[in-house]
Structure 1
Amino acid sequence: MKSVKAFAPATVANVSCGFDILGFAIEGMGDWVRLEEKDSPGLEVVSITGDEGKLPKEVEKNTCSVAIQAMLDHLNVEIGMAIHLEKGLPLGSGMGSSAASAAAALVAANEFLGNPFEKKELLPFAIAAEKAACGAGHADNVAPSLMGGFVLIRDYHPLDVIKLHVPKGLYCTLLHPHFELKTADSRSVLRDSIPLKHSTIQSGNVAGLVAGLYEEDFDLISRSLRDVIAEPYRSILIPGFNEVREAVKAKGALGMGISGSGPTLFCLSKGEEKAQAIADAAEEVYQSIGLGVDVFFSAINTRGGYIIE
């Protein structure tokens, strides 16, 4: 029986100033999807591990099967696939958990079908899965999970996605505190409108961040990692946010922000040594406030999703 297995990485979305338009992938954390040929036509979610029984196996609700079905519908192909999902990412973590599942499923399915699509061409199918998972078809997680690196979503109609330059030596430290922050709650605190002044500041920071990546100007990257639209409201939902930010800044963080809708925080830094020091400093803060935290650091993943076997 034909079998294909793929991996797709965790991601950071928004990246402070890039609300809903910027994201990047990290190394080492993510989800795995294995597809097996089956005799009868149609998709079947056979097994899910690492989710504590929380994810649906219904084909019309699971992000893996929704993504693959969107691909098959586009190709007008009917085929039998058994889906096995291995979750390496916690649910509702702000690390692109649903996106990694969809991306891994699409990379595997594309290989299964003889690679009819380039990675970038898989994005509409991944966006369909994100919409099924959380009600909004954003691409700032699925795009970097599929393509790797830093990704800019310039527009959705039509979809216009640009893979950006990643400076050598750029590292990310992820801090996942042990409490749940629902995406709906994180969205509910946002304002429906923003002052013109804040729009101007945010636009300048997005432009500065993109320029800093291409120029490999870490000081410019640092100055640009500022969010005046979402972070002021979302940060109050995350215990220890201000204390952690001060601690990591003292250890050389270029900046710290909320990964996706939280509660995970991300810190960018130049070099692995600083990424480790930032991780240690953050752990001390969380210990002092009595909150557990999972800490992880890595270089930026420029590969995206890939076939394992």
Structure 2
Amino acid sequence: MKKITAFAPATVANVSCGFDILGFAIDQLGDRVTVALNDTQELKLADIQGDGGKLPFEAKKNTCSVAIRAMLDHLGSDQGMDIYLEKGLPLGSGMGSSAASAAAALVAANTLLGTPFSKEELVPFAMEAEKIACGAGHADNVAPSLMGGFVLIRDYNPLDLIKLPVPLGLHCTLLHPHLELNTADSRSVLKKQISLKDSTVQSGNIAGLIAGLFLQDFQLISRSLKDVIAEPSRALLIPGFYELRESIQSIGALGSGISGSGPTIFVLSPDKEIAIMAGKVSEQIFEKMGLDVDVYISEVNDKGAYVLE
């Protein structure tokens, strides 16, 4: 094979209390990347669609080529490739847009080279791409986009990834108001220090959330979806955030939070019916504020990135 197309899904990072260490993948929504071998020793961005002309064609600045270059350097290979990116995710949305591009590019290129790496082994290369996208090589988007499901990053040095179980019936509603927040701006509002009390509360919530996933205990998941570190600062950047939270709790949703650095908000529900209701309630809230919002209803994608053709 000399040409392969791969798909990588959108992701929700942080998942409230799991700041920088937890994320999960969404179904259907994501990016496609086609990679073709060429006879040069260069990585070339041949075409980019769906980005409104905002993404760079320069290989050192595009997450697709940066991720592939990191993989090729690890292999000691100078194989040239042409890269065709089709964006299905809005930029600056908090849905892991840069991560999905890198993940799809890596899966396509890895397959072209005979699959020398597992999807988990591709994560460090995708993290290199995240550095140029948002200034930090976090794995809470790239790991679930590649591996699927819920992924816990227990440690970064060395990288220690744990794939967690997904309770039967769990659904996610993604709400993307038509705002754009840069990751760097969202990180700039965070407190530089946290109290011992907040650290203790956050630790209990992330432990409770992980236990709830293993036990398939929706009530425990609901009680644990609370972030006392990043959310209080970031929520101020997203109109209607707290009104939405109160509304979705009244219809039986498990909880909500900011997806990644925002402005997308995620809602977890115990079944599809409640997830759909959460979307309708949220549309009404944003409509009152004069904001358009895109609503996506999805199960958790346990497959991750994969080859299309």
| TM-score, with structure 1 as normaliser | 0.99
Distance 1:142 1:259 in 2: 14
How far did residue 189 of structure 1 move? 1.2
3-state DSSP of counterpart to 1:304: coil
Distance 2:53 2:303 in 1: 30
1:165 corresponds to: 165
1:47 corresponds to: 47
Are residues 1:221 and 2:213 paired?
no
Distance 1:34 1:47 in 2: 10
Given that residues 251 and 281 in structure 1 are in contact (C-alpha distance below 8 angstroms), is that contact kept between their aligned partners in structure 2? no
Letter in 2 for 1:267: V
2:274 corresponds to: 274
Letter in 2 for 1:45: L
1:288 corresponds to: 288
How far did residue 184 of structure 1 move? 2.1
Letter in 2 for 1:224: S
Seq. identity, % = 68
1:90 corresponds to: 90
Distance 2:158 2:93 in 1: 29
Letter in 2 for 1:254: L
Distance 2:135 2:192 in 1: 18
Aligned length: 309
1:61 corresponds to: 61
Gaps of 5+ in 2: none
Letter in 1 for 2:16: S
2:80 corresponds to: 80
Distance 1:307 1:183 in 2: 29
How far did residue 60 of structure 1 move? 0.6
Distance 2:23 2:37 in 1: 33
Letter in 1 for 2:177: P
3-state DSSP of counterpart to 1:294: strand
Distance 1:181 1:92 in 2: 5
Distance 2:261 2:207 in 1: 22
- Cα deviation 1:149-208 (Å, max 9, x = unaligned): 000001111001110011111100000001122222211111111110110000000000
Gaps of 5+ in 1: none
Name the stretch that deviates more: 33-42 or 276-285.
33-42
**1:245-284 pair list within 5 angstroms:** 245-284=245-284
1:240 corresponds to: 240
2:5 corresponds to: 5
Letter in 2 for 1:149: G
Distance 2:79 2:255 in 1: 47
Letter in 2 for 1:96: G
Letter in 2 for 1:19: F
Given that residues 225 and 255 in structure 1 are in contact (C-alpha distance below 8 angstroms), is that contact kept between their aligned partners in structure 2? yes
1:185 corresponds to: 185
Distance 2:279 2:33 in 1: 30
1:133 corresponds to: 133
Distance 1:283 1:262 in 2: 17
1:71 corresponds to: 71
RMSD value over aligned CA atoms?
A: 0.8
3-state DSSP of counterpart to 1:295: strand
Are residues 1:143 and 2:143 paired?
yes
3-state DSSP of counterpart to 2:5: strand
- Cα deviation 1:93-138 (Å, max 9, x = unaligned): 0000000000000000110000001110001100001011111000
Letter in 2 for 1:170: L
